[in-house]
Amino acid sequence: MNMYVSNLMSHVTDTDLKNLFSVYGRVTACKIISDSVTGVSRGFAFVEMKDDEAILAMKELEGVNLEGRKLSVAEAKGSRRAF
């Protein structure tokens, strides 16, 4: 399942997110989306995990404080894989 993770601080890295989500299962892909001109994080990412593990991660991580901001985690709309 592909998840949309938003409300990220600009300094959060792919590795930070992968470590956070790995507590709930194997992360098969993780990508923070950056501005194409500046390279600065746009504040959201996509994380992919097996469906049952993703459901648990979404439940447990929704609203969790990461670096001073509350995460928003939901199933990504549209394509099963957005990156």
> What is the domain count for the chain?
1
pLDDT-above-70 percentage for the chain: 94
Say which CATH number the domain at 42 has: 3.30.70.330
In a domain, 82, yes or no: no
Mean pLDDT across the stretch 53-78?
Answer: 95
Mean pLDDT estimate for the chain? 93
Dig out the tokens for 2 from the structure. 């592909």
- Rounded CA-CA distance 83/25 in Å is 20
pLDDT-above-90 percentage for the chain: 89
In a domain, 54, yes or no: yes
In a domain, 16, yes or no: yes
Residue for token digits 């609203």?
63
In a domain, 80, yes or no: no
Q: Residues 71-82: pLDDT tens digits?
A: 999 999 875 554
| This prediction's pTM | 0.89
16: containing domain: 2-75
Angle at 22 between CA 17 and CA 25, to 5 degrees: 140
Phi, psi of 33 (to 5 degrees): -90, 130
